[in-house]
Structure 1
Amino acid sequence: MTIADIKVTTVAVPLEAPLRHSAGAHWGRFVRTIVEIIGNDGMSGWGELGGGGEGAEAAILSLLPYLKGHDPLNLEQLRWKIMNPTATLYNNRLQLHAAIEMACLDLAGKRLGVPAHSLLGGAIRDKVEFASYLFYRYENDLTGLGGETSAQELVAHATALRDKHGFRVHKLKGGHFSPKHDVDVFVALAEAFPEDRVRLDPNGVWSVEDAIRIGRKIAHLNNDYFEDPTWGLEGMRRVREGQPIPTATNMVVINFEQLAQCLRHDLVDVILLDTTFWGGLRQAVKAGHVLETFQRSAAVHSSGELGIQLASMLHLGAVLPNLNFAADSHYHHLTDDILVGGKLPYVNGCIDVPTGPGLGVDVSREKLAEYAEYFRKTGGYTYDRDPARPSWYSIWPEQNFADPAVKTMPEAK
């Protein structure tokens, strides 16, 4: 079997409410580029990456000359065709390759009748645990949800998610409000669920000094780790040395050069692996094996995925022996998905690893068309802008933090 064609579709899928983060906001929807690799037998494999529009679609389609006639099982050759490290310096194809490789694993698995994890060494677990990824949210009049900014509101939101999905780990996305506000909310969450584990992630916007001070202040809580409290490998090294909570990152160790420096100099404790940021599912697995060799834990990172990438995350989690933490996912914030049968369910805080061939999920062409039309109507959005603060932009580390009293954003109305 060889690759005969590529199709690409940008979709936007609504969120329950807009999500606030340190650099701006997700404006009430996730925009994703869906890649369909078509074999010469007419069978399709599916991949996904973040963002979309004409530029992303053109970038994917420009790779067809590299791919036409390629055997989707020749995955190492595929990596060198698209992601040659000297060429990637100039063309930054990491996430393009990730979506194409994802689709090739899906297509090859379907052709062979085996799940994708069988092509990655085989599963050692049949489910992956997830954290209740908690955001401060703007209100959404259409759903009646959102508006959480206070400790009481975040605890109520976390309680509802715990009751609905069974989460036993709670991650707060901080950095949007002042450090003091984040600490107050985080302590309230930890005290509300004393048997559960907690994580605080301000996405790198605090100074080293603030991060050390806060790490010491929250060290008595049942922390998994302290995720990206400041920016840069040197900043993370100083935070690791200055406070007792293990550190984690998905921002400053996202390739093998950075991983080598991290391991040589003990810069960060836990690395969150992303099946797109690292350039593909196989690259994330490889990084996980390197971490295992050095007796380091891996975790699975979320980048605003729909069901295709979520399936890739489940296959990654299935094969990692050193997956010692619950995975992240934005998935419970989505109102729908493009999969046949709708969203994958959580059971006791976990999602089952798909057992069908390839990625083990089926794309609904009707849903694909529906949310492609929704993208055409709503368009994209700028991740690092906050519509409720039109003149603001993030200046690290002395950014002007948002006012908790503001609960709505103009675009969401």
Structure 2
Amino acid sequence: MDLTITDVRLTPILVADPPLLNTQGVHQPYTPRLIVEVTTADGVTGVGETYGDTKYLELARPLAARLTGRQIGDLNGLFVLAGAVTVDDSRVSGQVDVGGLRGVQTADKLRLSVVSAFEVACLDALGKTLGLPVHTLLGGKVRDTVEYSAYLFYKWAGHPEGVACEKDDWGAAVDPAGVVEQARRFKERYGFTSFKLKGGVFPPDEEIAAVRALAEAFPGHPLRLDPNGSWSVATSLRVAEELGDVLEYLEDPALGTVAMAEVAARTDVPLATNMCVTTFAEIAEAFAKGAVQVVLSDHHYWGGLRNTQQLAAVCRTFGVGVSMHSNTHLGISLAAMTHVAATVPDLHHACDSHYPWQSEDVLTERLTFDDGKVTVSDAPGLGVELDHDRLRFLHERWLNDSGALRDRDDAAAMRLTDPAWTTPSVPRW
């Protein structure tokens, strides 16, 4: 067999996204994603997926050009190649990564998010070549299914009138009753048994009421609340006290390790994060200060599936829980998440997934949830197949866009309804 990479294809696309609200604003009608295809001399193609904003494309293109002639098994070399690609620091340093809502973006974080797609594509191709599933390449699965949590959002019934968009049937959710109805639909359609609410949208008392309504409607179901660092320490502590009897954990109530540590020291409610710990360099301070009790990994943030396993091992060493964060993603990313999650021994919390919100995909067959779980595929590679016609259609949408949607901007989308809207300062409450 010849494992030499002979071709790398990058396809930026725009996929439909409902009007989901967060502390930054509202999702745009379409969101950018990047699909990576890596083909070997034997004609085997592996696929990967990551963010498709312009800054990611600018790094992915020169990295893709350097891969031809290399071996698909040279995964460590991906980081070396990415490190050699120049990144315009002025475009990322000090900026908030709106798409991921994970705090300040840096050139190194950008590189990791791009490398993740190439690593997954190489693992997929290697697995197909060897006839082995990705989880076997990662050391083998310890579970046959991976549990996911329903990802609830405050939501408008539709995007602003006059905006080109795909319609959805979820309806509005702007109060406790709407949130409960949304959760009921998630449970009926997918069988989810835990719920996470994206907060930071309305004043804390309204979000406390929504979580209380969920607890009443779904007794015994694990609940989570994530305001994306929009609260002060005092507000975080008040919410923790009010909801301490029903929350599985409170995710990033305050912004940054110092504030999170202060909250953690004064409440028994576990704190989770995908904002103050998103790289290995950020672990030491957060763990030493006891700022977080659960790290929500995201293989895009951390640079791939093997780094995710390393993170899980570090968390296990320090007695910190681990689960998985999710941003707007398609089936390739869900398959990759499921494979790596299947290999993590101490995965005691259901993983996040936006996938049910995405009505469009690039796969010939969508992944499915059964009782809130995804079955781990034992087929070679990721166990998914790319739908080239669908990929072409979504790429045409990207090509035909004027450029307004090629970079996710939740604040700009909100200004279509509220022209005076600006990204709120933190803490917002």
Calculate the TM-score normalised by the size of structure 1.
0.91
Would the alpha carbon gap of residues 61 and 398 (structure 1) be closer, same or farther in structure 2, given more than 3 Å must change? closer
Residue in 2 that maps onto 1:138: 156
Residue in 2 that maps onto 1:274: 298
Q: Aligned to 2:409, what secondary structure does the other structure show?
A: coil
Residue in 1 that maps onto 2:75: 75
Residue in 1 that maps onto 2:249: 225
Residue in 2 that maps onto 1:174: 199
Q: Deviations over 1:294-339 (max 9, x none)?
A: 2221101102110111111001210011111000000011112111
Contact 1:338 1:368 in 2 (8 A): yes
Residue in 1 that maps onto 2:241: 216
Inter-partner Cα distance in structure 2 for 1:71 and 1:390: 51
Deviation at 1:344, TM superposition (A): 0.8
Residue in 1 that maps onto 2:409: 382
Residue in 2 that maps onto 1:297: 321
Residue in 2 that maps onto 1:394: 423
Trace 1:4-403 onto structure 2 (pairs within 5 A): 4-15=6-17, 17-53=18-54, 56-83=56-83, 92-140=110-158, 142-221=167-246, 223-341=247-365, 343-378=366-401, 379-380=405-406, 381-385=408-412, 386=414, 387-399=416-428
Deviation at 1:293, TM superposition (A): 1.8
Deviation at 1:86, TM superposition (A): 11
Inter-partner Cα distance in structure 2 for 1:258 and 1:99: 22
Inter-partner Cα distance in structure 2 for 1:144 and 1:121: 41
Task: State the one-letter code of the partner of 2:113.
Answer: Q
Q: Aligned to 1:319, what secondary structure does the other structure show?
A: coil
Would the alpha carbon gap of residues 90 and 330 (structure 1) be closer, same or farther in structure 2, given more than 3 Å must change? closer
Inter-partner Cα distance in structure 2 for 1:30 and 1:4: 30
My pick for the range that moved more, 224-233 or 38-47, is 38-47
Inter-partner Cα distance in structure 2 for 1:218 and 1:85: 47
Contact 1:240 1:246 in 2 (8 A): yes
Residue in 2 that maps onto 1:404: none
Task: State the one-letter code of the partner of 2:46.
Answer: G
Would the alpha carbon gap of residues 5 and 85 (structure 1) be closer, same or farther in structure 2, given more than 3 Å must change? closer
Contact 2:229 2:427 in 1 (8 A): no
Q: Deviations over 1:148-168 (max 9, x none)?
A: 101111111111111111111
Q: Percent identity?
A: 35
Q: Deviations over 1:4-43 (max 9, x none)?
A: 121111112223x311111122123332011111212222
Would the alpha carbon gap of residues 51 and 391 (structure 1) be closer, same or farther in structure 2, given more than 3 Å must change? farther
Inter-partner Cα distance in structure 1 for 2:228 and 2:168: 27
Contact 2:62 2:85 in 1 (8 A): no
Deviation at 1:118, TM superposition (A): 1.1
Inter-partner Cα distance in structure 2 for 1:397 and 1:307: 33
Task: State the one-letter code of the partner of 2:235.
Answer: D
Deviation at 1:262, TM superposition (A): 2.1
Contact 1:273 1:299 in 2 (8 A): yes
Task: State the one-letter code of the partner of 1:13.
Answer: V
Deviation at 1:63, TM superposition (A): 1.3
Inter-partner Cα distance in structure 2 for 1:2 and 1:285: 26
Deviation at 1:244, TM superposition (A): 1.7
Q: Aligned to 2:288, what secondary structure does the other structure show?
A: helix
Inter-partner Cα distance in structure 1 for 2:258 and 2:84: 28
Would the alpha carbon gap of residues 31 and 319 (structure 1) be closer, same or farther in structure 2, given more than 3 Å must change? same
Could you tell me which runs of 5 or more consecutive residues in structure 2 were left unpaired when the two chains were aligned. Answer: 90-105, 160-166
